[in-house]
Amino acid sequence: MWKDNLTWVNEFVLMGISSDRQTQAGLFVLFGAAYLLTLLGNGLIILLIGLDSRLHLPMYFFLCNLSVVDICYISSGVPQMLVHFLLEKKTISFTRCGVQLFFTLAYGGSEFLLLAAMAYDRYVAICDPLHYVSVMSPRLCAILAAISWLVGLANATTETIVTMCLPTCGQNVLNHVTCETLALIRLACVDTTFNQMVIVASSIVVLLVPCCLVSLSYCYIVATILQIHSTQGRRKAFGTCASHLTVVSMSYGMALFTFMQPHSAASAEQDKVVMVFYAVVTPMLNPFIYCLRNKDMKAALSQVLNRSSKLKH
């Protein structure tokens, strides 16, 4: 009889953030604005890098990939969230839930690896500037980007399969805004030790290892910068890393807090808030951080605006 109860549901009901209609309407406006800003900001970065030949460098090649990842990542969950803010019953089919989980994990994992590739690019630029062009060749950049995407996809495939295979014994109410690994595991009516092991292994591959590589790169970068005698030189060297370091701190910080402690006593509500912040706010802030703190990006934007102004006149 117990084995007969190991059933898989056809759909899930998402509890969302709040059941209050006015709060949901406010969140719809807030998240909708954040989504549009993310699309516009990251789209602008892709456009500027494509149009300005001065930005056809390894650093901006990875930044372009990062912008594509951010657009895809936020699009994997936020549109559904916006629709659910307007609906009384927030449901998602089992198949759509699995697809959403897969793409969220794939783009999230790819982003962490791309940030590690960008850290290596900054390491070579500052610690070995004379060999920068030969080391960061187009071929190596393409390989690093391809590895980031492929490892993200492989990790997402594994984690999605082992998560969606968990029976829930008829339970289908997810205390989350999207289909998320930890929320789905909480519904399982069988032992989830293997799933917990998969989460830890996954976190090591796409999160902890890249984080260690980033940390190692910046240890060498800081040591090299401290050896520069001129204050202006040190400031300039650090300025090339400031934007990347800010994004790395936000991305890795939030993800480590959420995923590296699956047995944590943190409440489901806390996990939900952190995940929403990571999924919505971080992709929105990335283009502003890179554009506002990067002279080359601001120069490219000014050039495009000047061309548009001349064409109008």
Specify whether the CB–CB gap between 82 and 32 falls below 8 A.
yes
Look at residue 87 in the predicted model and tell me its pLDDT: 84
Look at residue 310 in the predicted model and tell me its pLDDT: 62
Q: Mind listing the domains of the chain with CATH numbers?
A: 25-308 (1.20.1070.10)
Angle at 146 between CA 253 and CA 45, to 5 degrees: 65
Residues whose CB is less than 8 angstroms from the CB of residue 162 and which lie 6 or more positions away in sequence, other chains included: 194, 195, 198
Look at residue 2 in the predicted model and tell me its pLDDT: 41
Report the candidate in 13, 178, 192, 10 with the shortest Cα–Cα distance to residue 105: 178
Look at residue 6 in the predicted model and tell me its pLDDT: 57
Look at residue 72 in the predicted model and tell me its pLDDT: 94
pLDDT in tens, the chain (313 residues): 344 455 667 888 888 787 788 888 898 999 999 999 999 999 989 998 988 888 889 999 999 999 999 999 999 989 998 998 888 888 899 999 999 999 999 999 999 999 999 999 999 999 988 999 999 999 999 999 999 999 999 999 999 999 999 888 878 888 888 888 888 888 888 888 898 899 889 988 998 899 999 999 999 998 988 888 777 877 877 777 777 888 888 888 777 766 555 444 456 666 777 777 778 888 888 888 877 667 777 777 777 777 766 666 5
On whether the pTM is more than 0.85, the answer is yes
